[in-house]
Amino acid sequence: MRHLLLLLLICCAAGGYAKNPFAGVDMQFMRINISVDPEVQYIKGVATHHFGLKARQDRFLPVLLELSSELKVQSVIHGNKTLKFSHQGDSIIIFPQEVWGGNDSISVQYEGVPESSGFGSVEFSRYGNTPIFWTLSEPDGAKDWYPCRQVNTDKYDSVQVIVSCPERYRSASNGIIISDTINNGIRTTTWMHRHKIAFYLVAVAVSEYEVSQEYIHLNNGDSVLYVNYYFREQADQARKRASKLIPAFKMLCDTFGTYPFADEKYGQAQFRWSGGMENQTMTFLAGFGQSLMIHELAHQWFGNTITCSRWTDVWINEGFAEWCEGFAEEVGVGQNNDPVSWRRRKIYSAASKPLGSIYVRDTTDVWEIFDTRMTYDKGCMLLHMLRTELGDQMFFGLLKYYIKHSPYRFANASSQNFFNLVNDFSGKDYTWFFDQWYYGRGTPIYRILWEQNADNLLNIKIEQRRSDSSMAFFRAIVPIMIKGCNGESVFVRINNTDENQYFSFEPGFKVDNIVFDPYADIISWGSTTKEEKLSGNSSVKYHHEDSQIILTASNPKSYRHYLIQTFKHRTIQSGKVGSDGRVVIDLRRIPAGDYYIALEGDNSYFAKKITVSKKQK
């Protein structure tokens, strides 16, 4: 067989197929018929793949599937004929009898003792005295239990999963049950899922489950079947906890549109793991914790309806689902309903990897792909900061369009696809935002200095350095809380565009303190605030007469330029300070209103409130 394969590859190369010696196929329908006993570490299966050829010339080429070398291929059937194949390593190369049809199918019969990989791709375990079998295929463990193409962008149009097991067990899988029979002590359950599905979201669990089901009645009048599979020992407690997901389920439907697989069901099944896996329509959970349930449910929109194109784009799945978990805290259907503490934990986690980036550079390392600090925590905070940039109306409109109407629905999206959508939807270019927060490394660290002058103006200097010195600057909206001596407070967001930048405010009260990021809105750690004199060693004389203001600095080198701004920080006029330290302002050129005029230097800042009346025009 090795000689035949080598000859074929040489012929393909001569015929112009050197770049890809295998047929380009588009997976359409898959049927898996798997037999398993959770007490016996062995599986038997038949996987039938229906596919279409991407190019007519590929009809002569072999089809490539993946299957672990630990499992033995018994035969490959095409119609009523047995095909030749090569199973070397984790690859099955299947040769056509003569040529493939434009739409064709093959059935692979296999069996053996599966070997688990990744996070536990196929496991035989126990809960107490109860045996359990389960699969967890993400990111590339599907091949450990069924032959497949592990390509995120080649989704099956539909799948049928037929599970045979001893009759005391029940199986949990994708879609809905269309038959469940017992014959000679063997229970055979046929599951049917009629939506596009990525290879790694196909799953099976088998145990002595207790099952409950009910309908969730949505606010738009629709109803969704809600099914849960519990370990017998935990059934009563787990049933109560599972019911707590219903308010969050309704909230996600209201926010992003009806549950995408409402014509089938949403299910949850317990398994022996440390977290959860968002298998399409049938999430597997270690337990029924509120935050975990919300996160995995959110994946049915973000990760399943729209799936990351490649594992380097896994943030498309995980960052969005994590953000939904935090949003549930915000709107009162989360685990603790404390969004600030929730975000604070995410910020701390993300900042604890000071050289980290959301962008996954090594997709061979599952721990880098699913890095909690970057993919999940920094990823969800990126979305939170994007919400601040866009505003709520545009942000939620964007997400609803993305999940309901974009070309990525029931398909795939890359990070760049989403970035382009943000730009198109907003009408602005946010390339800078994603360059620094997604591709960039580390976080900004702020030092905020402040003083209140005799005019009661609050002068602030924002200094920024970075946890990763390779980053030039983080442009960001910096949130602060100004607190007064008598309990007053005002929350402001400052558009920070330079690593040493001055601002002035008119708080209307005597300032006691400034708090950085009181509501946990920005990724930063180790940032500080301090009251400190900002005017340096140079004094400024201020003279106002008729339609003119004259400012004179005692040390001309202390200040480089001046500006006149509104208290919303819109610049009305700016220019350079003269070599003699003087600035002359013609008030007739300035609209009537209240402003502040400021002189700025590297380490010196002077600001004064001015009022321009109509008579000065």
Average pLDDT (101-123) is 97
Which tens digits make up the pLDDT trace of 210-224? Answer: 999 999 999 999 999
Which tens digits make up the pLDDT trace of 67-90? Answer: 999 999 999 999 999 999 999 999
- Whether residue 339 is preceded by a cis peptide bond, meaning omega within 30 degrees of 0, is no
Q: Domains of the chain, with CATH numbers?
A: 23-207 (2.60.40.1730), 306-439 (1.10.390.10), 444-531 (2.60.40.1840), 540-616 (2.60.40.10)
Average pLDDT (43-55) is 98
Residue 538's pLDDT band, with cuts at 50, 70 and 90, is confident
Do residues 538 and 523 make contact, with C-beta atoms less than 8 angstroms apart? no
- What's this model's pTM, rounded to 2 decimal places? 0.93
Q: Which residues contact 14 (CB under 8 A, 6 or more apart)?
A: none
End-to-end CA distance of the chain: 93
Structure tokens at 543: 């003279």
Q: What is the pLDDT of residue 6?
A: 36
Structure tokens at 608: 């004064």
Q: Which amino acid is present at 244? A: K
Task: Measure the CA–CA gap between 452 and 469, rounded to whole angstroms.
Answer: 32
Task: Measure the CA–CA gap between 330 and 428, rounded to whole angstroms.
Answer: 28
Q: What is the pLDDT of residue 120?
A: 96
Q: Which 8-state DSSP code applies to residue 144?
A: G
Q: What is the pLDDT of residue 1?
A: 39
Average pLDDT (459-471) is 95
One DSSP character per residue, 518-583 reads TT--S---S-EEEE---STT--EEEEEETTEEEEEESSGGG--EEEEE-TT--EEEEEEPPTTSEE
What percentage of residues in the chain have a pLDDT greater than 70? 96
Angle of the 290-298 helix axis to the 246-256 helix axis, nearest 10: 30
Task: Measure the CA–CA gap between 426 and 409, rounded to whole angstroms.
Answer: 20
pLDDT at 455 over 90: no
pLDDT at 539 over 90: no
> Quick one: 238 exposed, middle or buried, by C-beta within 10 A (0-12, 13-18, 19+)?
buried
Q: What is the pLDDT of residue 616?
A: 55
Task: Measure the CA–CA gap between 536 and 474, rounded to whole angstroms.
Answer: 26
Average pLDDT (597-615) is 89
Q: What is the pLDDT of residue 69?
A: 98
Task: Measure the CA–CA gap between 445 and 396, rounded to whole angstroms.
Answer: 29
Which residue in this structure is represented by tokens 């914790």?
Answer: 289
Residue 411: Cβ within 10 Å count: 15
Structure tokens at 152: 């995120």
What percentage of residues in the chain have a pLDDT greater than 90? 91
Q: What is the pLDDT of residue 488?
A: 98
Task: Measure the CA–CA gap between 272 and 255, rounded to whole angstroms.
Answer: 32
Average pLDDT (310-339) is 98
Most confident stretch, 32-36, 565-569, 607-611:
32-36
Q: What is the pLDDT of residue 227?
A: 98
Instruction: Return the higher-pLDDT residue of 4 and 468.
Output: 468
Which tens digits make up the pLDDT trace of 214-251? Answer: 999 999 999 999 999 999 999 999 999 999 999 999 99
Residue 16's pLDDT band, with cuts at 50, 70 and 90, is very low
Show the DSSP H helices in 313-441 as ranges: 315-331, 339-351, 366-369, 379-390, 392-404, 415-426, 431-434
User: Which segment of 14-18, 188-192, 258-262, 368-372 scores lowest on mean pLDDT?
Assistant: 14-18
> What's the mean pLDDT when you consider all of the chain?
94
Structure tokens at 577: 């300070």
Short-list 109, 8, 99, CA closest to 65: 109
Do residues 111 and 45 make contact, with C-beta atoms less than 8 angstroms apart? yes
SS3 219: coil
Residue 11's pLDDT band, with cuts at 50, 70 and 90, is very low
Q: Which residues contact 573 (CB under 8 A, 6 or more apart)?
A: 563, 564, 585, 589, 590
Structure tokens at 514: 């400034």
Residue 493's pLDDT band, with cuts at 50, 70 and 90, is very high
Do residues 554 and 538 make contact, with C-beta atoms less than 8 angstroms apart? yes
Biggest CA–CA distance in the chain, Å, is: 104
Average pLDDT (315-342) is 98
Do residues 112 and 72 make contact, with C-beta atoms less than 8 angstroms apart? yes
Residue 17: Cβ within 10 Å count: 17
Q: Which residues of 569-585 are buried (b: 16+ CB within 10 A; e: fewer)?
A: eeeeeeeebeeebebeb
**What's the full length of the chain, in residues?**
617
Task: Measure the CA–CA gap between 279 and 325, rounded to whole angstroms.
Answer: 18
